[in-house]
């Protein structure tokens, strides 16, 4: 943001629970409407995909810091979304380009944030903030976006600090039931292609029931692209209802929060896996599958958020660059005999993939459906359809 043009954007305050304060400019909702937000402050290293990040339900009650300095330079559009609204609690960036250029653009990032009543701050030292989060770990924070004509006062700073310190810890929060769909719905939209947009699956081979713990739409598109007719169900749907649909496979989606309080999901997934139906889990779904199988999870000191995370496939040595978004992980030392590790993070050695040795079920911690990318680990969707094809042949 050019210094000479800061006057077009009113002030904003970012306060962290440890007492650190940043003063920048408000580029989203202001105090005139919904100008204060609180949440766990995390950083994401992706260079592109800010619209997908903002609409990812896995960021519910999290304030996202984007480490790439120029955010907003290609605007936003109506198609690059992972949900029908912004789920991130807030956005923190360094520089908002005043000119956005893209043939698909429908509005600017700032206009989008204001329309979705999302609080955001720009023109702060995101390198300093990222180092702080990297050294201390994710912590709670608050952003206060002031209205035009308002000024930063000590009283406002103190209020922001108090809000940051009062925000609840992510540990123990069941957010899957907050972001899930209220009712089941069908899905047949396939992946986006230049010149034609999204397609439609008109000759499906498989019927997949997808649990929505905060599902990203591109997951559903990639499953539909591979021949799946999908029925998306709420997070609390009992296993008996899913099994009564006689699906070829069950998918466990990504989602926000702590997996341990999701006892309803853990119970249902245990029954579904025990039934022998092919099952595939991503992110929160990976953690729930692990808990349903007898493993344990923990809150990470340094969470994973970005699009440049190397992950090693332990079965063939292949290294994939992956997209990640999680603050909890499965404890490697807690794996029971019927769970085998298949992938690990090359950043910190944490567990990234599991397979059941006694049932056709597997899961992955990262986001193999990443939109706009990377796509290195998308082969896991093909592994899932192969499991369903094998099961069909046995019938």
Instruction: Using a pLDDT cut of 90, give the percent of the chain over it.
Output: 93
40, 52, 82, 369: which one is catalytic? 369
204-244 pLDDT, tens digit per residue, is 999 999 999 999 999 999 999 999 999 999 999 999 999 99
Average pLDDT estimate for 17-25: 97
For the stretch 302-348, pLDDT in tens is 899 999 999 999 999 999 999 999 999 999 999 999 999 999 999 99
Buried b (16+ CB within 10 A) or exposed e, 29-50: bbbeeebbbbbbbbbbbbbebb
Catalytic annotation, pick one of 260, 283, 326, 343? 283
pLDDT value, residue 6: 55
Q: Is residue 283 among the annotated active site residues?
A: yes
Give me the residue label for tokens 């006689």.
246
pLDDT tens per residue across span 355-382: 999 999 999 999 999 888 899 999 999 9
Report the side by side order of strands in the sheet with 319-330: 185-187, 228-234, 206-212, 249-252, 279-282, 361-364, 351-356, 339-345, 297-313, 319-330
- pTM equals 0.96
Tokens 């809000």 belong to which residue? 163
Can 369 be counted among the known catalytic residues?
yes
Strands 119-122 and 139-145: unpaired
Residues 6+ apart with CB under 8 A from 85: 55, 116
pLDDT band at 30 (very low <50, low <70, confident <90, very high): confident
């Amino acid at each position: 943001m050019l210094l000479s043009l800061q006057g077009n954007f009113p002030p904003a305050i970012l306060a962290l629970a440890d007492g650190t304060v940043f003063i920048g400019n408000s580029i989203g909702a202001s105090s005139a409407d919904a100008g204060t937000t609180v949440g766990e402050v995390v950083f994401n290293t992706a260079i592109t995909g800010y619209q997908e990040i903002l609409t990812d339900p896995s960021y519910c009650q999290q304030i996202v810091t984007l480490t790439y300095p120029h955010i907003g330079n290609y605007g936003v559009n109506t198609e690059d979304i992972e949900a029908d609204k912004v789920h991130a609690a807030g956005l923190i960036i360094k520089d908002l380009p005043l000119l956005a250029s893209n043939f698909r653009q429908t509005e600017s990032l700032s206009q989008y944030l204001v329309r979705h009543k999302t609080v955001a701050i720009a023109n702060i030292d995101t390198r300093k903030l990222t180092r702080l989060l990297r050294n201390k770990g994710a912590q709670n924070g608050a952003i206060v976006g002031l209205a035009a004509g308002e000024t930063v006062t000590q009283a406002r700073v103190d209020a922001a600090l108090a809000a940051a310190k009062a925000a609840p810890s992510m540990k123990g929060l069941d957010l899957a039931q907050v972001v899930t769909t209220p009712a089941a719905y069908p899905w047949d939209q396939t992946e986006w292609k230049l010149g034609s947009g999204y397609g439609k699956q008109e000759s499906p081979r498989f019927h997949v029931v997808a649990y929505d713990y905060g599902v990203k739409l591109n997951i559903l598109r990639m499953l539909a692209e591979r021949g799946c007719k999908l029925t998306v169900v709420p997070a609390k749907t009992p296993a008996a209802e899913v099994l009564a649909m006689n699906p070829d496979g069950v998918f466990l989606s990504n989602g926000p929060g702590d997996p341990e309080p999701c006892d309803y999901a853990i119970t249902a997934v245990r029954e579904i896996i025990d039934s022998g139906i092919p099952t595939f889990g991503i992110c929160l779904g990976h953690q729930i599958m692990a808990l349903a199988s007898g493993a344990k999870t923990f809150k990470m000191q340094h969470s994973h958020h970005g699009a440049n995370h190397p992950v090693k496939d332990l079965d063939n040595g292949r290294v994939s660059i992956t997209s990640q978004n999680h603050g909890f992980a499965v404890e490697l030392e807690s794996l029971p005999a019927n769970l085998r590790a298949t992938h690990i993070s090359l950043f910190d050695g944490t567990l990234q993939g599991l397979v059941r040795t006694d049932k056709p079920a597997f899961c992955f911690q990262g986001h193999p459906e990443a939109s706009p990318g990377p796509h290195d680990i998308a082969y896991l969707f093909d592994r899932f359809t192969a499991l369903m094809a094998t099961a069909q042949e046995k019938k």
